[in-house]
Every structure is written in structure tokens, then in C-alpha cells.
Amino acid sequence: MDAVIPKPVNEALTLLYDKDFEGYVIGGTVRNLVMGEKPKTYDISTNATMSDIKRIYKNYRTYLTGENNKTLYIVNPKFPMKITQYRTKENTLEADLATRDFTMNALALSDEDGLIDYSTGLLDINNRIIRLNGDDDTIFQDDPLKILRAIRLSAEYLMKIDKQTIEYMFEDKELLKDVAPERVRDEISKLLVTRRADFYIKKYFEIFLEVIPELALLEGFDQNDSHHIYDALEHTLVAMKNIDSTLELRLAILFHDISKPFTAVRKEDGTTEYKDHAKKSAEMAREILNRLRFSKKIIQKTIKLIENHDYKFSDKDVKVKEFLNRFGTEDIEDLFKLKKANFYAKNPAYATDLINIDKDYERVMSLAKKSSFIKKNEMKLNGSDLVNMGLEQEEVGRVLNDLYSKVLNGDVKNNRDKLISYVINNILPQDDNTEIIFKKVA
């Protein structure tokens, strides 16, 4: 585990030394170097003040960032650097390292002094253990987000969390309710795209309920349906295990059945159905994602996938084309990935369901690629044209939908003159002004 500091970073450190200041690569940067992974950024800590730091790096391309602009970011495409003064009033390296969250992050490195480890960081990295840095849970008390960070780091690096740290995590989990939602979002997002996110959500489920309490009713919820062999939570986690690790897909699978406990209706035969559960789950997911301050783009795609995860495709091509217009073609691949993951978490006795999913996929993709498929906004006649032809405003939407279906079905060509002629002959009332209207629009 030889940790080598890249030349541009060493050059930045040398500028500090030349002015008689200390300077070390520190924290997660050293952890990654020790583990043989390239850091995303190179964090440097020093006893120099921010005014000193800005003066020393005046010839670099920099900007201030971080809380209260106390970090100087050096722009370097291959080796971006962040430089900060030591965190504590003592303004020493040892005091700074004592404030780091986990022992594996309480490390410093320089070519002159080598690897500095006042705790058990290197030993814990070698043993693949995540351990709180300190003798108590002060770190979790001061910043409860570190509870989620421990889980995320465990998932990212496939490291175990030591028993005492886990005990503190569960003891302090209620403190997560007071953490800024954006910070919670970032940790959950990073966790969800790890390979075994399902395992970690299950293992630390009680902790996740502090930030997403809506998941609670899934645990132990009997779906009471021959297609299902797991309770609602286990079904969700098995499905997550079988889906690509992109954020929108993982969010969609996490919430796709979240409304089932609220939409359950017992049928006469004793089984249960879930009326409009996809729609209701999408509504609940939207509330959760908004609360956690996810971006509009992520929310829109996630909700769209959830709303349509159990959509039954018609045998009629025109209906499929109408669906494609409404849903769009860019996310069709992900919708079918969601459908397949959902299937793999059900009763394998219904293998024909998978065959049908594959058949639907082939047919949908084939129709999406055909020249006969057009989007509604590609129609050669629009709402303004219909109004100019004398159609009442409240009728425009209905007529456009009718025209669109006719075009998709091949009954009318997507040609402006043909569409106008169809409207005149089949929709508009016949009177003496028809010809005048036609000329005006044409």
C-alpha cells in the first residue's frame, strides 16, 4: 500500500514549505491513496491562514468554496486540489486529525514526514474496518450525517463497520431528523448506486426510516397474491438487487410499491389487489424526493418510471404508439429494466410473464424505430390551426388526439393538406364558409 503524492500536488505543498508553513495531504485523499484508488480531489491542510493561502497561490487558477469560503480550490483537470487551514483553534495537525470522522480518514501524508497516523487508521484500512475516530460518539452527536456516511463508505469500499460504531449509529439515529435534507440526499444517492445497496438498506433499515419513514409499512407487509413470494420490503430489495445501479432506476425500484399498504383491497377470492398503486406510489415518491431536494430532472424521470412500471401494453400498434408519444422513447430501455427487475422479485412459477415482457420490448422498440411513429408535436397541424379553422377552444385537445390516433393508425397521412381536408370533411360542420376557412389555413 504505497501512497504516492502526484507531482503537481507536491509542487503545491512545496510552495507552503518555502514560506515556512506546514502542509499535508489529508483525510479521505490519503485513505484512497493508501487503498490504491485515485482521489477525486486532493485535500491539503496547513497551518497557514486563508489570507496566506490566497497569497501563496496567487499565480494559480483558484476560487473560494466550502462553508464560509474557507477552502481554496485549485483548478487542475487531472489533480484538483482543496486547501484549508487546520480545523481547530490549536492550529496543529494532530488536533485537526482528531476531528476526522473515522480512523481511516484520520491520516496525513507528505514526502518529508511520510504517513502520519495518530490512531489506528492504517491498521483499520488493512483489516477493512470502519471505526469511529475517538473514544465516544461525539462525532455522531456533532454531525449525525456521519451515520449515513459510515453506511455509504461501507458499501462503497466493502468494509465492515466495527461493532461499537454500529451501536453508536443506532443509538444516535434519531438525530438524523435534524440534518439538512440536501446532505441526506447526497449520502443516499451515493449509497443507492453501489452494487449491494439492497443489503445495506436491509441491514440498517431502522436508520433509513429516520429519513424515509414512508418505507416502514413495507416491512412484513404480506402482498397476499400468488405472483408474490416476498413481503413488500423484501420484494423491493430483491428487485433492487436485479437492476442497474443508476440513480433514477434505484430510486424508482425503491419506491415503486411504496403505496401498497395504502391501496390494498381484499377481493372476493381472498387475495388482494392494489388499485392504482403505481399512480399512488408515484405521488408518494414525488413528495419524498421533493422533501430531499432532488433535482427536477431526476424527480421527473423517477416518477415517470414508477407510474408506468406495471403498464400493460395493448396488442394494437396504435395504442403502443400513443404510449410512446406520452412516455417518450428516451427512457423506454429503463422502463423495461424496471419491469424485469420487478419480475425477478416475484414468484418464478410465472415464467411466462418474463417471456411477455421480452416480447413487449421487442415490439415496442420496433415500433419506436419505424418511420410511421411520430410524436404528437410532430403533427403537421396544430391547435392554433384548428382554432383558425373555426373549432371551439375546448374541442381542440380532443380533435388533436383524434387526428394523432388516425395518423398513427395509418388512416390519415401526416401531411398538412390531408389533415386539413380530414378536419373539414369529418369534424367541422359543413356550411358555406368551409371553403373560405380552408383557404385561410392552407
pLDDT digits (tens, 9 = 90+) for 373-389: 677 777 788 888 888 88
Instruction: From 326, 329, 319, select the one nearest 405 (Cα to Cα).
Output: 319
Q: Would the pLDDT of 318 be above 70?
A: yes
The pLDDT assigned to 436 comes to: 41
The pLDDT assigned to 437 comes to: 45
174-226 confidence digits (pLDDT tens): 999 999 999 999 999 999 999 999 999 999 999 999 999 999 999 999 998 88
pTM: 0.84
Q: Which residue has the higher pLDDT, 373 or 123?
A: 123
Contact between 239 and 345 (Cβ < 8 Å): yes
Map residue 161 onto helix, strand or coil. strand
The pLDDT assigned to 372 comes to: 60
Angle at 99 between CA 97 and CA 104, to 5 degrees: 60
Average pLDDT over the chain reads 91
The length of the chain in residues reads 442
Q: Which residue has the higher pLDDT, 160 or 266?
A: 160
Q: Would the pLDDT of 431 be above 60?
A: no
β-strand partners of 26? 108
The pLDDT assigned to 74 comes to: 96
pLDDT-based confidence at 1, cuts 50/70/90? low
* All three cell numbers of 24: 499535508
Task: Read off the amino acid at residue 414.
Answer: N
240-291 confidence digits (pLDDT tens): 999 999 999 999 999 999 999 999 998 888 888 899 999 999 999 999 999 9
pLDDT-based confidence at 292, cuts 50/70/90? very high
Q: Would the pLDDT of 440 be above 80?
A: no
Backbone Cα Rg of the chain: 30
The pLDDT assigned to 434 comes to: 45
Q: Which residue has the higher pLDDT, 400 or 221?
A: 221
Which of these ranges, 122-136, 300-314, 380-394, has the smallest mean pLDDT? 380-394
The pLDDT assigned to 82 comes to: 97
The pLDDT assigned to 427 comes to: 79
The pLDDT assigned to 259 comes to: 97
Angle at 317 between CA 315 and CA 323, to 5 degrees: 95
The pLDDT assigned to 192 comes to: 98
The pLDDT assigned to 168 comes to: 98
**What is the mean predicted confidence (pLDDT) over 152-173?**
97
pLDDT-based confidence at 414, cuts 50/70/90? confident
DSSP letter for each residue of 20-61 = T---EEETHHHHHHHTT---SSEEEEESS-HHHHHHHTTTS-
